[in-house]
Chain A
């Protein structure tokens, strides 16, 4: 079945460092891909999405490119801030309407 694998955390960075969180997926067909963010004590917020190969999703300085050849959707940000500290989830939506999530990666940014 469809699945998402993302790098284990926690990822600890200093402010203004470059961020990469790896995400790979397994799916039949052409899924839509997403990154969600969860701040402490809150629900999930959609960060960005891409619906077809080579699409780049971007929002708030975060970017991810849908790479079908490597079945990947890695999240990047050029300069992280303390306020980016949260748990990040990679997800896909395949032929059904449900979202399938990875296990999450905790990001801690230190001043």
Chain B
């Protein structure tokens, strides 16, 4: 049983560019949450998707957007990249009925130059 998978593993972009990160949830899970983890810090909640809708959003600007597909996989898009967007982006999946237990993927390391 595959766990949460994310792609790509690493990504290097320049300021002003746009990036798309992808996440496939654990089998049987229907809810995906995205977190940003800056170096040496704890993860910060970006947003959560269920039934292809954004259900909750953290304190992140509109440059951060997302999407969930009918197969429950999800994308995180970041526009107009800033140096400060460099971080590890983590995807977590869960069941909507049991969001206490969230399973995290290995993350995508984004470097903005």
Chain A residues with a Cβ under 8 A of chain B:
4, 32, 36, 41-46, 49, 51, 89, 91, 93, 96-104
Contacts and interface: CB of A to CB of B under 8 A. Distances in A.
A89 B45 CA distance: 14
B90 A44 contact: yes
B15 interface: no
Given A43-B106, A49-B100, A100 B90 contact: no
Q: How large is the interface on B (under 10, 10 to 19, 20 to 34, 35 or more residues)?
A: 20 to 34
A22 B31 CA distance: 31
Contact of A99 (B4, B40, B43, B107): B43
Contact of A44 (B43, B45, B48): B43
A102 B106 contact: no
B33 A44 contact: no
A93 B100 contact: yes
5 contacts: A45-B104, A89-B42, A93-B99, A98-B45, A99-B92
A51 B104 CA distance: 19
Which 6 residue pairs across A and B have the least CB separation, nearest first? Answer: A101-B42, A98-B45, A44-B104, A43-B104, A43-B106, A97-B99
B71 interface: no
